[in-house]
Amino acid sequence: MCNHTPECPAVDQPGWETAAQLVHHDDLGWSMLCNGAIVLDAAVRPEPAPVPVPAVTEMPVRARRARTRTRTRQAVPAPARRPVTEPIAA
């Protein structure tokens, strides 16, 4: 893959990282060397994939129940109190 003289070291040999860069993507954080190695930049973090926002749907309208008539409570008069005629013993 390498056309340099002297040829760049293969990936499995020491000094492989000294090979010339063929492709460099600084925005993506990687580069490809002429010996076929792909070097990732440790400073670039991959951005998370965008999460699709679900479309806003309206809630179904619930049928209202028909109101039934309820009986109104009629005030019941309190029983009349008897007057106390006997004195309370002390």
Domain boundaries, the chain: 1-45
Burial class (CB in 10 A: 0-12, 13-18, 19+), 33: buried
User: Tell me, what's the pLDDT at 89?
Assistant: 66
**Per-residue pLDDT, 39:** 86
Say whether the peptide bond before residue 52 is cis (omega within 30 degrees of 0).
no
- HEC string of 42-83? CCCCCCCCCCCCCCCCCCCCCCCCCCCCCCCCCCCCCCCCCC
List of the chain residues with pLDDT < 70: 1-2, 43-47, 66-73, 84, 88-90
CB atoms within 10 A of CB 12: 8
Tell me the C-alpha distance between 20 and 9, whole Å.
10
Q: What is the pLDDT of residues 65-79, one digit of tens each?
A: 766 666 666 777 777
